[in-house]
């Protein structure tokens, strides 16, 4: 399994938890790539990790990936809120939107945890199956889920 991690700077009290996470990933022989800024932060603060791979931009087989949202009223207006989109670029400058390939949308039921928004998704493959982890309403306050791609 391969994963990419982009983290933010954290205070010293989080060190044991972060190092424990990296130790667990290493014990499971998971290939980890770190974003360049996060790797720099870890190294400057002597945070133990066994990761050598670094990325500048998310990339799969030479295609860069992007998710996005509207910039106005995205916290309160369902029509402007986070949803999953998909675009591809070979140069990181010119993008072609392919939202029809996402395969998942916000729920149409106002009672569901993902009616208002879907955000902070993470795609991964495991044992030949495709999974998507994502947060729902309130940036995940209402819940999070995983979806399994069915062909």
Q: What is the pLDDT of residues 54-111, one digit of tens each?
A: 766 555 555 555 555 555 677 778 888 888 877 777 766 677 888 888 788 889 999 9
pTM, 2 dp: 0.54
In whole angstroms, give the CA distance from residue 112 to residue 143.
Answer: 9
Structural domain boundaries enclosing 87 = 59-148
pLDDT at 113 over 70: yes
Mean pLDDT of 1-6: 70
Percent with pLDDT over 70 in the chain: 84
Q: Which of 57-71, 117-131, 135-149 has the lowest mean pLDDT?
A: 57-71
Q: In total, how many domains does the chain have?
A: 2
Q: Domain boundary at 55, 70, 99, which?
A: 55
Same domain flag for 64 and 134: yes
C-alpha–C-alpha distance, residues 73 and 78, integer Å: 9
Q: Are residues 91 and 70 in the same domain?
A: yes
The verdict on 132 and 119 lying in the same domain is: yes
Task: In whole angstroms, give the CA distance from residue 146 to residue 123.
Answer: 9
Bridge-based pairing state of the strands 59-60 and 63-66: antiparallel
Determine what percent of the chain falls in helix, strand and coil, rounding each to the nearest 5: 20, 30, 50
Please tell me the distance from the alpha carbon of residue 76 to that of residue 72, in angstroms, as a whole number.
Answer: 9
Pair 14, 68 in one domain? no
- Are 38 and 83 members of one domain? no
């Amino acid at each position: 399994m391969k994963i990419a991690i982009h983290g933010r700077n954290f205070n010293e009290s989080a060190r044991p938890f972060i190092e424990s996470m990296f130790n667990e990933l290493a014990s499971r022989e998971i290939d980890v790539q770190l974003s360049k800024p996060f790797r720099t932060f870890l190294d400057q603060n002597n945070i133990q990790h066994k990761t050598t791979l670094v990325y500048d931009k998310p990339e799969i087989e030479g295609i860069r990936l992007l998710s996005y949202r509207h910039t106005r009223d995205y916290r309160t207006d369902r029509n402007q809120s986070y949803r999953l989109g998909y675009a591809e670029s070979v140069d990181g400058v010119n993008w072609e939107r392919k939202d029809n390939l996402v395969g998942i949308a916000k729920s149409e039921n106002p009672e569901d945890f993902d009616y208002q928004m879907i955000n902070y998704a993470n795609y991964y493959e495991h044992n030949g199956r495709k999974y998507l982890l994502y947060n729902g309403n309130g940036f995940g306050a209402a819940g999070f889920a995983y979806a399994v791609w069915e062909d």
